[in-house]
Structure 1
């Protein structure tokens, strides 16, 4: 095998120890400093993780939209209109409630010929209700309900006056909420 050719670096004397930057000692790392930085990094990752989780679950919002405040709807106020005919039905076991309600209407200047009253076909109607037929009658029904001391108001054509469709009519069904006598629980329900 042939001998390698000599160059100028072959004559450099060999020194003991390390030579050059790549052979420099690593600077000493303090163990407590490394532990502190590890703790800070872990804490930052945990806080960011919780924030992202809350954001994804919708518990917080980055840019909350302005809450719309909805004003409460004004309460409907009725008008007492004495041109309506009123039918009073007593749907309780207590007798005379229909006559008492008739007297209340007469004291409020309701014409006697526009008020009719009778017992209803049932005696266990829960809540006193004023029924009206068309939307145009709603304000009068609310006014009548207020006049008799408060009652539920409901639209229904069940009690529409078929004999005289031109006459505006309201129907009051007196319920157990106005009665001191409760229906007998032993009676069998009507079929």
Structure 2
């Protein structure tokens, strides 16, 4: 049998009995570091598990919907200001409603010379409305609407006086809703 040929690696002295990298010690890994990393991993898993459980039970909402229940803004209360001139227009087929509303305003201490009234150009206006021109007139319009029984209030320059833009004026258009709430005259039975 022949002998293997010698090469330069045959002269390297053997210092340990181990051969290969898989038998080498893990450098820098000791028991305390492994224990610390295990503790951190367990803590993270526990916290994530609790969070997921709370989400699934509905105790935590990830993406809450916008809250539409904001505090309601108080509606401005009106002021009855008898210095305004008032135009009353009857926009219903029932005659005399404008005169009745005029009497209501006079009974509420409104000066007679500041009240004008008459029929409107139409007879099918749906809702009784108090119109005002400027923002500063809004509280007076609300006060007028409360005084006549809760009419709708709206800003419009349609009824503004072009000759006197500074005139303080309110316009009340009587609608069909007011005509239907007027008391019916009682019929007396024939004797």
TM-score (norm 1): 0.60
Q: CA deviation at 1:180?
A: 3.3
- Aligned residue runs from structure 1 range 1-191, under 5 A: 61-62=61-62, 64=64, 70-180=70-180
Residues 166, 175 of structure 1: CA spacing in aligned structure 2 closer, same or farther, 3 A cutoff? same
2:180 is paired with a residue of what secondary structure?
coil
What runs of 5+ residues in structure 2 fail to find an aligned partner? Answer: 2-51, 182-191
Residues 81, 62 of structure 1: CA spacing in aligned structure 2 closer, same or farther, 3 A cutoff? same
* Alpha-carbon distance between aligned partners in 2 of 1:170 and 1:66, rounded to the nearest angstrom: 41
Worse-matched range after superposition: 60-69 or 162-171: 60-69
| Residue-by-residue CA offset, 1:125-178 (whole Å, 9 max, x unaligned) | 000000000100000000000000110000000000223333200000000001
Question: Do the aligned partners of 1:94 and 1:180 also contact (CA within 8 Å) in 2?
Answer: no
| Residue-by-residue CA offset, 1:13-54 (whole Å, 9 max, x unaligned) | xxxxxxxxxxxxxxxxxxxxxxxxxxxxxxxxxxxxxx8xx9
1:105 is paired with a residue of what secondary structure?
helix
Q: CA deviation at 1:65?
A: 8.3
Aligned CA-pair RMSD: 2.9
Q: CA deviation at 1:71?
A: 1.3
Question: Do the aligned partners of 1:91 and 1:122 also contact (CA within 8 Å) in 2?
Answer: yes
Q: CA deviation at 1:76?
A: 1.3
Q: Which runs of 4+ in 1 moved over 6 A?
A: none
